[in-house]
Structure 1
Amino acid sequence: MTSNDLGDFLRAHRARLQPDDVGLASYGARRVAGLRREEVAVLAGMNSDYYARLEQGRERGPSSQILEAISSALRLDDEAREHMYRLAGTAPESERPQPSEAVSPALRQLLDGYPNAAAFVLNPANDFLASNALADALFSPFEDVDNMARMTFLDPAGRSFFTRWGRAAEAVVAGLRHAMGLDPHYRRLHDLVGSLTEQSEEFAALWSSHTVHGKSRSGKELLHPDVGPLDLVYQTFDVRGAPGQQLVIYHAEPGSPSVQALSLLGSLHATRHQESAT
């Protein structure tokens, strides 16, 4: 990173455009590739001296209106636009893309590629969008495997399933707070929070604490009625190309008793599935 990352970014994207690309007539010999600073300024509807100061790093903290105008002038796609905002130390005013609720066939296939781990996909509201066989077995004590927050606070199974229920509950609420900050206009998340606030005093109290953090990597202490205690590690990954979706993987440390317990759980689930199908 240099001290003028925004300027470097603007120059690089200006160099990628030719006058014909943006509907301008070309005139005079061009000493550098791409558009001139003056041309970008015209396209953005701003003073050319101001734009020059931005590129040179002499102007700091451009407004969102200025950045939007430059984004349009340079024909930036969504990712480049968001990156420019980050370089400028601000955030886009427009809404983030609404979370995707459809799980791609490729991602569903990937879930099944984790036979020794419970893998599933959540949206920002903690709705289950897809899961593999071992995840189905892991969460089988719950009446409905539909939403992690609802399961934690409203399903009686949650109190025994999560050995450290208080910690699990706090993590769920803090994750929802984090998601609300990223997607403040996501209606499903607002509806979920409203419903849980009405139905659970414990959720309402935790929600009012405004603790915020997203999912990353941590431990889970679980108690499954079929195989007993499970000490698992979970990791979370954002799904590129599907806004808001997160791939969550619960796995056991190699060589631990939980490895055998997970394997047994998978075998029991497969046997029951075969029996129910016959």
Structure 2
Amino acid sequence: MDQQPMARFLRDRRARLRPGDVDLPCDGPRRTAGLRREEVAGLAHISASYYARLEQARASRPSVEVLNSLSQALRLSDDERALLFTLSGRSPEEDNARPRRDVAPSVIDLIHRMPHTAALVLDAKYDILAWNPLATAIFGDLSAISGQERNLIRAFFLEPDPSRRHHGVSGSEDFARFAASQLRAVAERYPRDHDVRALIDELCSASSEFNALWRQVDVVVPRHQIKSVTHAVVGPIDMHCNLLMIPDRDQLMILFTAEPGTSSHRALCLLSVIGDQDMGFVAVDGMDVAHSATL
């Protein structure tokens, strides 16, 4: 098929945007109007070389996922998005984009190679998809929770006991604002996903706190934090909490670590042994996978 119409469309829409339109810093005058190619590629989570080939009409036909990402990056209207699908040789009805739930084997292997780090893997709407034994030792047997109950945001806002919120981890107020902000972004990325919409509708109806936060327009940027939790066996633990994006699947890895040489680090080391002895498996979206870790 002729790729020139889609290439012209992409160049035209890129030229219409300014950095401020997509929350990028303004770095002074530019030689040409609009965003740079690498900026659009970054916003769409695709390689700059592939996006350049799209604009040069010499790339392979983009997938539905790439078309959706480009629609978001270029701030296309519904009509413009439908036109982009048509120009690419796809029907807008092919758009069945939804948060991916399949975790890459390399990610599963990675979280098992960190015995002193508690790791969770979440999908875009914060369903827990995978975890390692240390996460089980700290937060409890996540395999015993299924379906929508394994959503971190839902569990947080619908937990009636404040002391049990967030699995007992500190920073509830920060998480509440951050979670509402994240769901707003997810709703924009997956506007036709039933599960995303059902989660938001349930939270707006059942939680006055979430409903109030949902009406705000703040964008909360994830950042490194110190979290604290009191464990029934080892007592208080202070942990670094870091969020790592897995952009090709729109997933998130949360890592909990402790400062070496501290009582918290010694507690995590002890729990890593307990976890291997009592709960020596990695879980992937409800399936228990046997594993023998080497400490």
**TM-score bucket of the superposed structures, by smaller chain:** 0.5 to 0.7
C-alpha distance in structure 1 between counterparts of 2:103 and 2:178, whole Å? 24
Sort the Cα spacing of 1:193 and 1:45 in 2 relative to 1 into closer, same or farther, 3 A: closer
Which residue does the alignment assign to 1:269? 275
Q: Give the deviation of 1:240 after TM superposition.
A: 4.3
Task: Name the aligned partner's letter for residue 266 of structure 1.
Answer: S
1:159 Cα deviation from its structure 2 partner:
6.5
Distance 2:98 2:166 in 1: 32
Aligned twin of 1:180: 187
TM-score, length of structure 1 as denominator length: 0.63
Partner of 1:228: 235
Equivalent positions of 1:161-200 (< 5 A) are 161-200=168-207
Match of 2:84 in 1: none
Amino acid at match of 1:225: A
Counterpart-to-counterpart distance in 2, 1:151 and 1:44: 47
Partner amino acid, structure 1, of 2:33: R
Offset at residue 166 of structure 1 (A): 2.1
Residue 147 of structure 1, aligned match among 141, 145, 151: 151
Verify the 8 A CA contact 1:44 1:72 in the aligned structure 2.
no
Letter in 2 for 1:193: I
> Is this contact kept in 1: 2:229–2:238, CA < 8 A?
yes
Distance 1:105 1:122 in 2: 14
Report deviation, 1:205.
Answer: 1.8
Deviations 1:198-232 (A, max 9, x none): 22222222222232224343322223333222221
Unpaired runs of 5+ residues, structure 2, are 16-29, 41-50, 82-94, 281-289, 291-295
* Secondary structure class of the residue paired with 1:241: helix
In the alignment, what sits opposite 2:47?
Answer: none
**Helix, strand or coil: the match of 1:215?**
coil
- Residue 207 of structure 1: aligned partner: 214
Aligned to 1:60: 33
Q: Is the 8 A contact 1:122 1:130 kept in 2?
A: yes
Aligned equivalents of 1:113 and 1:210: distance in 2? 39
Query: Match for residue 262 of structure 2?
Result: 256
Counterpart-to-counterpart distance in 2, 1:205 and 1:241? 32
- Taking the aligned partners of 1:268 and 1:59, their CA distance within structure 2 comes to 60
SS at match of 2:150: coil
RMSD: 4.0
Q: Deviations over 1:45-99 (max 9, x none)?
A: 999xx99xx8xx886359xxxx99x9476134559x88xx79xx94455479533
Q: Pick which of 153-162 and 255-264 moved more.
A: 153-162
Amino acid at match of 1:168: F
The DSSP-based 3-state class of the residue aligned with 2:135 is helix
Task: Indicate the structure whose relative CO is greater, using CA pairs within 8 Å and at least 6 residues apart.
Answer: 2
On the 8 A contact 2:120/2:253 being kept in 1, the answer is yes
What code does the residue aligned with 2:202 have?
S
SS in 1 for 2:278: helix
Partner of 2:58: 75
Preserved CA contact (<8 Å) 1:239 1:245: yes
The letter of the residue matching 1:60 is A
Partner residue in 2 for 1:103: 103
- Amino acid of the structure 1 residue aligned with 2:255: I
Distance of 2:272 and 2:125 partners within structure 1: 27
Deviation at 1:108, TM superposition (A): 1.0
Change (3 A) 1:90 1:109: same
Residue-by-residue CA offset, 1:93-124 (whole Å, 9 max, x unaligned): 54795331111222211110111101121111
Q: Secondary structure at the match of 2:248?
A: coil
